[in-house]
């Protein structure tokens, strides 16, 4: 049964607030009238709603942030106050975990905190970029414009993320199918030939002996392999979250030929788009570089941007240290230089970001086209080895019978 928060006025004109558990809003209104109270506000206490286990582990995605910014802008543009915006959004957000977080911000703002201060208390959920932009919007008095820019920013970011996930979907499915086929052949098909091979007295070829050995291990000790695989995956995840792991992964992404070009375009797109959004909103260049360094998704580039920030602080132009990172394409660094010289860096960066957004889409399509046949070839080689290993002893048995 849900809880409801209510505000009412008694006979003497005193304001009364409280909570009441009921089946519906009408029940709360009836209860207040029976006490001779005049109800002024009754609403469901979303903070008390039961959150499902699935919602507890549900992540706050880029799409959720984009929708939040877009709806917040629409409400602000219609003349709704910040407190009422938060109140409306917490009631209509489908993700219960996110709704509870918005409810907490709403309560903080009601207590006197600014919107950005309320967001800072939820730093694990809201990106630094959004918090800093909203803070800049509060200072400049154009929060509605900022929210629209952030809505566009996260909508584009979400679009790129979806493109990346879509490009990786087919290879992932093909990998799972390949592993499933191999395990099926080794655990169900291969054992049916074992008795026939053993009774024939024929010397088994090396590929067949290797396959039989693998089949026996998988069939009899599957739980050990499952446990080992789980430990390995857990260890890899932990290592990749460490600084050394992030550095290793950052280097690898620029060493693999197929991935290098794609990763370069994604980082360039994020860097130029985010820096453009920050600069156009009045955030100083030094502070903008600090924020941008955290969202590029590569620790090597992050360190390079932070180094570039220190160079800019000393009076050096931005294009030179960005070029020295050795990651950004020549076109991107040239556009930054042109933007600095013309005094329209934010506009130039936005045009550059739009260009590389299209480049990312093209690179993802090419990446998928290259990866699909490569994985099919690998799968064909593995399955082909298994089939040949099973067929070879049959030829030996036929030759023995003919002799």
pLDDT digits (tens, 9 = 90+) for 18-63: 777 676 777 777 777 777 787 777 777 655 444 444 444 456 788 8
Kindly indicate the confidence band of residue 268, based on its pLDDT and cuts at 50, 70 and 90. very high
For 304-356, what is each residue's pLDDT tens digit? Answer: 999 999 999 998 999 999 999 988 999 999 999 999 998 899 999 999 998 99
Does 397 have pLDDT greater than 70?
Answer: no
Lowest mean per-residue pLDDT among 46-60, 128-142, 248-262, 266-280: 46-60
For 72-98, what is each residue's pLDDT tens digit? Answer: 999 998 888 999 999 888 888 888 888
E strands, 35-164, in order: 38-44
User: For residue 255, what are the CA distances in angstroms to 194, 199, 248, 259, 321?
Assistant: 44, 52, 11, 8, 22
- Are 260 and 283 contacting, i.e. CB atoms less than 8 angstroms apart? no
Instruction: Compare 126 and 218 and report the one with higher pLDDT.
Output: 126
- Residue range 55-152 in CATH 1.20.81.30: yes
The fold adopted by the segment(s) 153-402 is: Receptor-associated Protein (1.20.81)
Tokens 């709360």, located at residue: 28
For residues 156-162, give the mean pLDDT: 85
User: For residue 375, what are the CA distances in angstroms to 124, 158, 173, 260, 349?
Assistant: 37, 27, 11, 19, 37
For 103-158, what is each residue's pLDDT tens digit? Answer: 899 988 888 889 999 998 888 888 888 888 888 888 878 888 889 988 988 898 88
For 296-305, what is each residue's pLDDT tens digit? Answer: 888 889 899 9
Q: What is the mean pLDDT of the chain?
A: 82
Does 265 have pLDDT greater than 60?
Answer: yes
The residue ranges of every structural domain in the chain are: 3-45, 55-152, 153-402
Contacts of 334-338 spanning 24+ positions with Cβ under 8 A: 335/272
């Amino acid at each position: 049964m849900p809880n409801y928060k209510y505000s009412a006025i008694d006979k003497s004109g005193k304001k009364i607030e409280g909570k009441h558990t009921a089946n519906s809003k009408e029940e709360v209104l009836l209860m207040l009238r029976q006490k001779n109270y005049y109800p002024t506000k009754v609403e469901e206490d979303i903070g008390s709603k039961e959150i499902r286990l699935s919602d507890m582990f549900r992540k706050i995605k880029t799409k959720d942030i984009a929708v939040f910014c877009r709806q917040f802008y629409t409400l602000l543009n219609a003349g709704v106050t910040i407190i009422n915006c938060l109140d409306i959004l917490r009631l209509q957000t489908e993700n219960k975990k996110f709704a509870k977080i918005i409810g907490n911000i709403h309560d903080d703002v009601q207590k006197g905190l600014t919107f950005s201060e309320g967001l800072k208390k939820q730093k694990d959920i809201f990106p630094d970029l959004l918090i800093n932009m909203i803070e800049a919007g509060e200072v400049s008095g154009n929060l509605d414009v900022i929210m629209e820019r952030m809505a566009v920013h996260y909508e584009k970011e979400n679009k790129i993320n979806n493109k990346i996930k879509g490009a990786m979907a087919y290879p992932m499915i093909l990998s799972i199918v390949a592993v499933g086929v191999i395990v099926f052949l080794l655990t169900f098909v291969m054992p049916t030939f074992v008795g026939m091979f053993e009774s024939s007295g024929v010397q088994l070829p090396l590929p067949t002996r290797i396959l039989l050995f693998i089949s026996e291990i998988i069939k009899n000790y599957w739980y050990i392999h499952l446990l080992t695989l789980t430990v390995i995956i857990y260890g890899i995840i932990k290592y990749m979250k460490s600084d050394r792991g992030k550095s290793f992964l950052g280097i690898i992404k620029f060493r693999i030929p197929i991935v290098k070009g794609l990763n370069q375009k994604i980082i360039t797109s994020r860097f130029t788009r985010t820096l453009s959004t920050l600069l156009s909103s009045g955030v100083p260049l030094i502070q903008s570089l600090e924020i941008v360094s955290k969202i590029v998704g590569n620790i090597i580039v992050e360190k390079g941007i932070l180094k570039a920030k220190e160079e800019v602080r000393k009076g050096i132009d931005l294009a030179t240290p960005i070029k020295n990172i050795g990651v950004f394409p020549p076109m991107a660094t040239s556009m930054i230089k042109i933007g600095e010289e013309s005094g329209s860096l934010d506009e130039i960066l936005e045009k550059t970001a739009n260009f590389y957004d299209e480049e990312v889409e093209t690179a993802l399509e090419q990446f998928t086209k290259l990866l699909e046949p490569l994985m099919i070839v690998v799968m064909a080689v593995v399955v082909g080895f298994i089939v040949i290993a099973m067929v070879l002893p049959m030829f030996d048995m036929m030759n023995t019978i003919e002799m």
